[in-house]
């Protein structure tokens, strides 16, 4: 999934863990945070044709790593995608790799990217209220732990 994509993805799959977000309201977190992007043979051919390159030219210019297993990557885990433009749009969207086509932040085991995108899409007052609620909950939890610890100490003394 990339920032240049459709406003919402509708996929024929199991119910996602989180409600879908608007990709067009996102800062392209999937293209910046979501790990590496592997390209397979079909992806390489499609991307090379889209960029008017030969397959060897594409590989020379755009493959950033080849893993020990022989997987070819166009994005490293801690890098922003090389095909993301200054406006956070995918410059190869119509030819994007399978990893990008299949990635949806709301249906991943690790919801870090989803949480970033969700936070980013909220108006600032709502972000502030959410932060206040989270701080209050953390304080309550801390007070409860202290109370339990004090109770255990009193019980041991008795």
Edge to edge, the sheet with strand 37-39 lists: 37-39, 72-75, 65-66
How many H-runs (helices) and E-runs (strands) does the chain carry?
6, 3
Rounded Cα gap, residues 155 and 158, in angstroms = 5
Band (pLDDT 50/70/90 cuts) for residue 75 is very high
pLDDT tens string 98-126: 988 887 766 777 777 777 777 777 787 87
């Amino acid at each position: 999934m990339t920032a240049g994509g459709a406003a919402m993805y509708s996929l024929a799959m199991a119910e996602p863990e989180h409600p879908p977000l608007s990709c067009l309201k996102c800062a392209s977190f999937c293209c910046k945070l979501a790990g590496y992007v592997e390209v397979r043979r079909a992806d390489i051919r499609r991307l090379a044709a889209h960029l008017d390159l030969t397959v060897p030219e594409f590989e020379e210019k755009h493959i950033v790593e080849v893993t020990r297993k022989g997987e070819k990557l166009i994005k490293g885990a801690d890098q922003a995608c090389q095909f993301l433009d200054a406006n956070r749009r995918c410059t190869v969207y119509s030819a994007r790799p399978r990893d990008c086509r299949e990635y949806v932040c709301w249906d991943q085991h690790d919801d870090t990217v989803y949480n970033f995108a969700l936070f980013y899409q909220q108006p600032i007052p709502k972000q502030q209220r959410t932060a206040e609620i989270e701080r209050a909950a953390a304080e309550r939890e801390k007070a409860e732990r202290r109370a339990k610890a004090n109770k255990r100490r009193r019980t041991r003394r008795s």
